[in-house]
Amino acid sequence: MKTHEHLAGRRGFLKGLLAAGAAGVLGSGPGSLLRPHPAEAAPFDPSAYEVFRNACPRNCYDTCSIKTYVRDGVVQFVEGAPESTFTNGGLCVKGYTYPRRIYSPDRIKYPMLQEGRGSGNWRRISWDEAMSRIADKILEIKKRDGNLLGLGLTKYSGNFGITNYGVEGMMSSLGYTTRFVGTPCWPAGIDAQNYDLGDMWCNDPEDLVKARYIIVWGANPAWCSMHSMKYLYAARERGARILVIDPIFTQTAAKADEFWQVRPGTDGALALGMARHLLDAGLVDRDFVQNAAVGYEDFAAYLKTNVTVEWAAKTSGIPADAIRAATEEFAAAKPATVWIGYGMQRHTNGGSMVRAIDAFVAMSGNIGVEGGGARYGHLQTWGFNYHAMIQKQPAGSVGVRGASGPKGEFDFAGGEAATYSDRTLNINKTAQEILDARDPELRMLWIACKNPFAQDFDRNKLEKAFAKLEMVVSVEQFFTETVRHSDIVLPVTTLFEEWTINASYWHYWLSLNEQAIKPMHEAKSNIEIAALLSRAMNAREPGSCTFPQEVDGKEWMIKECNKGIYDLFGISSWEELRKGPAKARLASSASWHDRTFKTPSGKYEFSSALCARNGFTALPEYVEGRRPDAPFRLMTPHIQFGLHSQFVNLDWMEAYYPEPFVYIHPASARKKGIADGDMVRVFNRIGEVRVRARLSGNVAEDCVVMYEAWFRKLNYNVQNVVDDCAADMGAMKTGAPGVAIHDQFVDIAPADGGRA
């Protein structure tokens, strides 16, 4: 399929050799076979390509700007856009697999119908037939129930390109439906930062270089934000000290000056202990806490009454003298910053821990400071029109009475019609919510930009839940486990086959995503699929779907842009992005630089009445974590080779990441009779995973680690043993609380006699 166009020099050499070969096969003249002349391959010539602008739309801090080199209508290779100082010319191990994703023989090529869900008995159908079956089913549901609440959508972060919110738009254009809302990713921390600061708004990550002390707390940028590492290194070269706090000795920890292996779920205690020491040592920034904050005295009183450094040390496992020393260094360094990771808030007490860290940073006077800050994430650059997303329900549509809450952190639509709204179900309890849905039951599920069987919790329960569904439609690129549990699969375009525009929740760059090649096979973009469905719906029942029946991807991308975006990024039109990504014009690299907070008080709130109203403590008090019900804590964080269930399935990636492991401490393995490389069972009350063990002192003795991934050839799924226990916060801003992904407990035993 692909041609080695840019290696033409080598090919040219071959031709020359063959021609000369005729002159004398064994002769000694130039070009003879016996004395091949050194190949002088022609220099690489970038001008021989059409170069397109693309952006990696995955749920990733780095959201890289891509330059795509196309020749003869084929993507030859990709590289990072050099114009973005963040991407800096290089993609990551995942991004460089994109040419393979486009041309992978494993791609879903045309709509297919599975005769008997899970049977593997797939047959090719036309787009017409697929849409007929789907439209018929939707109309049948509407007729049966008198509404469309039996039709559900689950979609999340598989593709964050803005036009892909057209999937939500498609649902709205059909009527009031059921939406899985919330996010398994970061909601507890979002709410926590909203209580403290009024919004989630982090400094420009590129200003990390200005920091003199950096705590990376529960984040692993070496794997999950590789492009941020250069700023950590640069800061250190300028004299900064880097402390990594994590239950796992991560790759980032290995690059730090100091690593604290905190007991999982006790980060809040540790942060409060550090806050207490700021108080004891007289290191509190009086100006900030008195002039820019409210509730400080209450918090100080709480610390004095309830918190000691010794208690924090005992709870977290980090020695008291180390806590004191680091606190003093942090306070002395100006500026100092904490990078609060998403892993740290995936606990039943996750939001409270983020609030405790926020409070520590605030007391040290590092909020609103360039190079400082309690960095978590931001949505400052996401002010698009959401033209694709905001569609009108057909006249007479019936739904749930009254307004719904937010449908996720990216729900910028707001102002829902008050008479009726969609039914919202918790995305973090997908299985239970499907099982529990009544009046009407959930009958049909549309899945896009998401792989529930790889991401949703309690996989065994999910199997039961899917069995209840009358029709499942997946929009996919590969035959995932979710597709196996679907009736119809629709092939969706890769980012190279569609127009869209992308922003990041970490850095401040904006990237255009041009259509670089024609869609492969019969793949269509999400908005094209919506238009096709609209055509099928309206052909059957005119007016049953308001989604336009013709869409132009480029036009729809342009419709997402507005003056606010252009002004923020200092561009006059989207076309300027064809020259490369643009960075937001920031008054300061620091968030909250003018100390105008978006809290009810307009100040930093050590004590949040809103938080108390929502059922939590007003102060960032210590909350104990989930109690174990099995010998080992299980953590299932991200590995650098995949983004959730994407990338690891590609054969290119298998060259570097062929097989998953469960990582277990050598001492624990010894007690369990497990040797390095043994096949083991990791199990708990909801399921089990069979996987090879890798002994590693990087994990604590009472902890095991498995990295989430989908391998095309392996029956490996960490969600078999991860339940849907909720995190504390998240409902306020994302519609549902987060999920305690890292408060999971398992046992482990040799399987199949161990050696396998």
Partner 1 sequence: MSTRYAFLMDMDKCIGCRGCGMACKNFNQLAPDMVWRQVYPLDERIYPHRDRAFLSLACNHCDDPACLAACPAGSYTKRPDGIVVHHQETCIGCTNCIRSCPYGAPRFNKVEKHAEKCSLCHERLDAGLTPACVQACPTGALTLIDLDTFDNANAVQYPAGYPAMPRLNPSTRFILPRMPRVLRG
Partner 2 sequence: MTYEFPLVFFTVLTQLGIGLALAAAWKTCFGGAAVPRRLWLAALVATLAGLVASLFHLGAPLRAVTALNGLGHSWLSREGLVFGLFVLLLLLAALRPGRAVTALPAALAGLAALVVQGFTYAPVSLPAVSNGFPLLLFALTALTLGTAFGAETPGPQRLTICLLLVVLLIVPCLWASGSAVMQETAALWRQSAGFWAGLVLTAAALVLSLVRRTAAPAQGVLLFCGALLVRVTFFSATVHTATHLGMPY
**How near is the Cβ of 80 to partner 1 at its closest, in Å?**
7
Return d(Cα 558, Cα 388) in angstroms, integer. 11
Q: Which does 142 bind (CB under 5 to 8 A by kind): partner 1, partner 2, none?
A: none
Return d(Cα 111, Cα 322) in angstroms, integer. 59
3-state secondary structure of 182: coil
Cβ neighbors of 457 (< 8 A, separation 6 or more) are: 184, 428, 429, 430, 431, 719, 722, 723, 724, 739, 741
**How near is the Cβ of 158 to partner 1 at its closest, in Å?**
20
Tell me which H or E stretch contains 373: strand 373-375
Q: Which does 465 bind (CB under 5 to 8 A by kind): partner 1, partner 2, none?
A: none
Q: Which stretch binds partner 2 (CB under 8 A): 31-39, 124-132, 483-491, 576-584?
A: 31-39
For the chain, give the number of residues: 756
Region 388-427 residues binding partner 1, contact defined as CB under 8 A? none
Cβ atoms of 752 and 744 within 8 Å: the answer is no
Tell me which H or E stretch contains 303: helix 296-306
Tell me which H or E stretch contains 362: helix 350-363
Region 94-113 residues binding partner 1, contact defined as CB under 8 A? 94, 96-100
Cβ atoms of 419 and 397 within 8 Å: the answer is no
Of 582, 412, 596, the residue nearest 508 (C-alpha): 582
695 makes contact with partner 1 (CB under 8 A): yes
258 makes contact with partner 1 (CB under 8 A): yes
651 makes contact with partner 1 (CB under 8 A): yes
Return d(Cα 616, Cα 299) in angstroms, integer. 15
Q: Which stretch binds partner 1 (CB under 8 A): 42-50, 131-139, 377-385, 678-686?
A: 42-50
| Residue matched to tokens 């529990």 | 436
89 makes contact with partner 1 (CB under 8 A): yes
263 makes contact with partner 1 (CB under 8 A): yes
**Tokens linked to 702:** 């009472």
Tell me which H or E stretch contains 128: helix 127-145
In SS3 terms, 70-119 reads as: EECCEEEEEEECCCCCCCCCCCCCCHHHHHHHHHCCCCCCCCEEECCCCC
Q: Which does 260 bind (CB under 5 to 8 A by kind): partner 1, partner 2, none?
A: partner 1
Q: Which stretch binds partner 1 (CB under 8 A): 260-268, 336-344, 377-385, 582-590?
A: 260-268
Cβ neighbors of 15 (< 8 A, separation 6 or more) are: none
**How near is the Cβ of 33 to partner 2 at its closest, in Å?**
5
Question: What is residue 492's DSSP assignment?
Answer: B
Q: What is the largest CA-CA distance in the chain?
A: 95
Give strand pairing partners of 233: none
Please state whether the peptide bond connecting residue 440 to the residue before it is cis, i.e. omega within 30 degrees of 0. Answer: yes
353 makes contact with partner 1 (CB under 8 A): no
Q: Which does 80 bind (CB under 5 to 8 A by kind): partner 1, partner 2, none?
A: partner 1
The radius of gyration of the chain from alpha carbons, rounded to an integer in Å, stands at 27
3-state secondary structure of 172: helix
Residue of 10, 19, 29, 35 interacting with partner 2 (CB under 8 A): 35
Return d(Cα 279, Cα 274) in angstroms, integer. 9
Q: Which does 26 bind (CB under 5 to 8 A by kind): partner 2, partner 1, none?
A: partner 2
For partner 2, the closer of residues 17 and 113 by Cβ is 17
Of 64, 70, 68, the residue nearest 92 (C-alpha): 64
281 makes contact with partner 2 (CB under 8 A): no
**How near is the Cβ of 228 to partner 1 at its closest, in Å?**
9
35 makes contact with partner 1 (CB under 8 A): yes
For partner 2, the closer of residues 37 and 286 by Cβ is 37
Tell me which H or E stretch contains 635: strand 632-635
Of 653, 753, 643, 629, the residue nearest 712 (C-alpha): 653
Region 212-231 residues binding partner 1, contact defined as CB under 8 A? 222-223, 226-227, 229-230
Query: Binding string, 696-725, against partner 1, x = CB under 8 A?
Result: xxx-x-------------------------
Q: Which stretch binds partner 1 (CB under 8 A): 84-92, 158-166, 384-392, 745-753?
A: 84-92
For partner 2, the closer of residues 33 and 332 by Cβ is 33
- Angle formed at CA 145 by CA 546 and CA 126, multiple of 5 degrees: 55
Region 10-29 residues binding partner 2, contact defined as CB under 8 A? 26
68 makes contact with partner 1 (CB under 8 A): no
Helices and strands (DSSP H and E) totals, the chain: 25, 29
Helices 526-540, 127-145: crossing angle, 10 deg rounding: 60
Region 36-95 residues binding partner 2, contact defined as CB under 8 A? 36
Q: Which does 258 bind (CB under 5 to 8 A by kind): partner 2, partner 1, none?
A: partner 1
Return d(Cα 264, Cα 637) in angstroms, integer. 13
Residue of 63, 84, 173, 251 interacting with partner 1 (CB under 8 A): 251
For partner 2, the closer of residues 39 and 586 by Cβ is 39
For partner 2, the closer of residues 18 and 612 by Cβ is 18
**How near is the Cβ of 174 to partner 1 at its closest, in Å?**
40
496 makes contact with partner 1 (CB under 8 A): no
**How near is the Cβ of 90 to partner 2 at its closest, in Å?**
24
34 makes contact with partner 2 (CB under 8 A): yes
Q: Which does 89 bind (CB under 5 to 8 A by kind): partner 2, partner 1, none?
A: partner 1
749 makes contact with partner 2 (CB under 8 A): no
Region 657-676 residues binding partner 1, contact defined as CB under 8 A? 657
Which residues of this protein are in contact with partner 2, per CB under 8 A? 26, 33-36
